[in-house]
């Protein structure tokens, strides 16, 4: 298969983990006779410095012309410490989501048996937990009308029927492909926007008779994902709730550095780690490249390259089993492996099997 892949490495640890992600894709291309053509483009703080725009038109063009985008992370301490800055790396991220129409953010939550002890939760409660959070990504409070003056501020949580229908369709279909259990997470006891979500989900239920659908308030869901993670199969929720819930669910996996995601929608699909740019670690060769590498696996699986995705996942499992791990998940007394060494081990594994 020929794939044109836009490479947006961004800021902080982005370039380091991206290098490993691309190396893994290259190893797969060689082994399975695919041709992956990469085109790099700037974004984030990086792009603000270069052209004054965190998601410049030139980058958008590269994304639009590609079959897929592999994204790493954006963000920089200079902006984190200045909440008044008008142009910020994150505004570029939101512009990118909006312009590419990436309304469905898919964040899988899975455990690795050998890392269960890394989670702050009890091991026997986590074992076997395996679910997906589908977060609406281009609507709600993030994009609704806003106002701020000295005495008053508001954000509008607006959702239209077509926006809700299309994300629920993704969620129902995902549930059909998995264990056929969908949980719609909302705050329908208080919010009008949530009541519309719930109404539309109930209307759509009859189109998916094989799926068991239940409804949960976000406050309750944020407790249940921690106390009963195995209950869930597919969760669908609005932008803001999904943002909060997926940071929470990342502690199920044991490290933010292990969580990949995909964002799908109207134009080019995008694949990125859930973690951020971790500027403090940039250049230190300590960041975990696995979320980036697993995002590359999700990219391949999106195009039906199941065997290829499987091989990457097997390689990642094998690296963890072999204790080839970055410091935050290394066992006590385990050898030191950096971003680069973990990536290289995985590339070697792919070449050899």
Query: Catalytic site residues?
Result: 142, 187, 219, 243, 247
Q: Which does 188 bind (CB under 5 to 8 A by kind): Mn ion, ligand IPM, none?
A: none
CB 253 within 8 A of CB 112: yes
**Minimum distance of ligand IPM from residue 78's CB (angstroms):** 15
- Which of 337, 349, 339, 203 is closest to 284 using CA atoms? 339
Residue 93 in tokens: 């991220």
Cα–Cα distance between 228 and 340 in angstroms, integer? 36
CA 47 to chain centroid, in Å, comes to: 22
**Minimum distance of ligand IPM from residue 105's CB (angstroms):** 8
**Minimum distance of ligand IPM from residue 110's CB (angstroms):** 18
Residue 33 dihedral angles phi and psi, to the nearest 5° = 65, 45
Residue closer to ligand IPM, measured from CB, 199 or 280: 280
Q: How many CB atoms lie within 10 A of CB 206?
A: 7
**Minimum distance of ligand IPM from residue 246's CB (angstroms):** 6
Cα–Cα distance between 311 and 339 in angstroms, integer? 20
> Does residue 90 belong to the site contacting Mn ion (CB under 5 A)?
no
CB 201 within 8 A of CB 168: yes
DSSP, collapsed to helix, strand or coil, labels residue 213 as strand
Select the span of 24-32, 94-102, 132-140, 242-250 touching Mn ion (CB under 5 A).
242-250
Select the span of 12-20, 118-126, 210-218, 241-249 touching Mn ion (CB under 5 A).
241-249
Q: What residue number has its CB nearest to ligand IPM? A: 90
Q: Is the dihedral of CA 312, 315, 321, 323 positive or negative?
A: negative
Cα–Cα distance between 293 and 316 in angstroms, integer? 8
**What are the residues binding ligand IPM (CB under 6 A)?**
90, 93, 243
Q: What residue number has its CB nearest to Mn ion? A: 243
Residue closer to Mn ion, measured from CB, 93 or 116: 93
Select the span of 140-148, 205-213, 228-236, 238-246 touching Mn ion (CB under 5 A).
238-246
Residue closer to ligand IPM, measured from CB, 93 or 168: 93
Residue 227 dihedral angles phi and psi, to the nearest 5° = -95, -20
Residue closer to ligand IPM, measured from CB, 75 or 254: 75
- Which of 248, 249, 135 is closest to 186 using CA atoms? 135
Residue closer to ligand IPM, measured from CB, 137 or 305: 137
> Does residue 248 belong to the site contacting Mn ion (CB under 5 A)?
no
**Minimum distance of ligand IPM from residue 309's CB (angstroms):** 22
Residue 263 dihedral angles phi and psi, to the nearest 5° = -130, 120
> Does residue 243 belong to the site contacting Mn ion (CB under 5 A)?
yes
Residues that bind Mn ion (CB under 5 A): 243
């Amino acid at each position: 298969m020929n794939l044109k892949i836009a490479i947006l490495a961004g800021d902080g640890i982005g370039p380091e983990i991206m290098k490993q992600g691309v190396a893994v894709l290259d190893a797969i291309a060689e082994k399975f006779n695919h041709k992956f053509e990469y085109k790099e483009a700037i974004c984030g703080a990086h792009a603000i410095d270069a052209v004054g725009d965190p998601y410049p038109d030139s980058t958008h063009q590269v994304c639009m012309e590609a079959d897929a985008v592999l994204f790493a992370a954006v963000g920089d301490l200079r902006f984190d410490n200045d909440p008044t800055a008008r142009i910020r790396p994150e505004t570029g991220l939101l512009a990118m989501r909006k312009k590419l129409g990436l309304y469905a953010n898919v964040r899988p939550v899975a455990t690795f048996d050998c890392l269960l002890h890394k989670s702050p939760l009890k091991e026997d409660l986590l074992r076997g937990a395996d679910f997906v959070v589908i977060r609406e990504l281009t609507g709600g409070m993030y994009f609704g009308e806003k106002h701020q003056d000295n005495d008053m501020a508001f954000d509008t949580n607006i959702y239209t029927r077509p926006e809700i229908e299309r994300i629920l369709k993704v969620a129902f279909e995902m549930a059909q492909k998995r264990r056929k259990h969908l949980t719609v997470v909302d705050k329908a006891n208080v919010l009008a926007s949530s009541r519309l979500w719930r109404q539309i989900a109930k209307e759509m239920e009859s189109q998916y008779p094989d799926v068991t659908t239940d409804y949960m308030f976000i406050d309750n869901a944020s407790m249940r994902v921690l106390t009963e993670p195995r209950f869930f199969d597919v969760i669908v929720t609005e932008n803001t709730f999904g943002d909060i819930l997926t940071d929470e669910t990342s502690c199920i996996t044991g490290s933010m550095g292990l969580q990949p995601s995909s964002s799908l929608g109207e134009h080019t699909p995008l694949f990125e780690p859930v973690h951020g740019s971790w500027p403090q670690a940039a250049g230190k060769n300590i960041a975990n490249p696995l979320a980036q590498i697993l995002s590359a696996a999700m990219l391949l699986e999106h195009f039906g390259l199941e065997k290829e995705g499987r091989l990457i996942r097997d390689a990642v499992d094998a690296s963890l089993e072999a204790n080839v791990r970055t410091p935050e998940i290394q066992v006590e007394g385990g050898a030191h492996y950096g971003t680069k060494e973990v990536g290289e081990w995985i590339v070697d594994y792919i070449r050899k099997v």
